[in-house]
Amino acid sequence: MIIGDRLVIPKKIGRRLGMGTNMYPSSSLLGREKDESEVLPMDELIEKADGFVGVFPKHKYEIVRILQEKTHVCGMTKDGMNNAHVLKKADIGIVVVDATNATRSALILP
């Protein structure tokens, strides 16, 4: 799970869906978190995590890219245009009903 929300909501979602609750703040990706995440290379941290919270669109793209390099299939869902490039990068893109035109056009197949 890669989400812009704070920790409480994603942990509840992860628990309810059985996805796990090993969530890291986006700062751990940037090397600012003073815990075990600081000693792990970013690709290992991404592989180990059940999710990242408080993540900006540019970091979402990098997480998806690294997961795909490790042969994971990545799905994204979004309604706003901030993540259109991430939706396009993901293997599966799901746009909600009220999505912006920019988001919808990111998913048009060639």
The residue segments making up the domain with residue 39 are 1-72
Q: What is the pLDDT of residue 42?
A: 81
Whole-number pLDDT of residue 73: 93
| Domain match, 7 and 32 both | yes
Question: Mind listing the pLDDT tens digit for each residue in 44-97?
Answer: 888 889 999 988 888 888 889 989 999 999 988 876 667 778 888 889 887 776
Domain total of the chain: 2
Alpha-helical regions (H) of the chain: 8-17, 42-48, 57-69, 84-89, 101-106
Two structure tokens written together for 51: 């999710």
Same domain for 82 and 58: no
What is the predicted pLDDT for the residue at 30? 66
Asked if residue 82 and residue 63 are part of one domain, the reply reads no
User: 7: domain CATH number?
Assistant: 3.40.50.1000
The pTM score is: 0.74
Dump pLDDT digits (tens) for 6-55.
888 889 999 999 999 999 888 887 655 555 545 678 888 888 899 999 88
Q: For residue 2, what is the DSSP state?
A: B
Specify whether 39 is located in the same domain as 64: yes
Residue type at 59? H
Q: Is the same domain home to 40 and 93? A: no
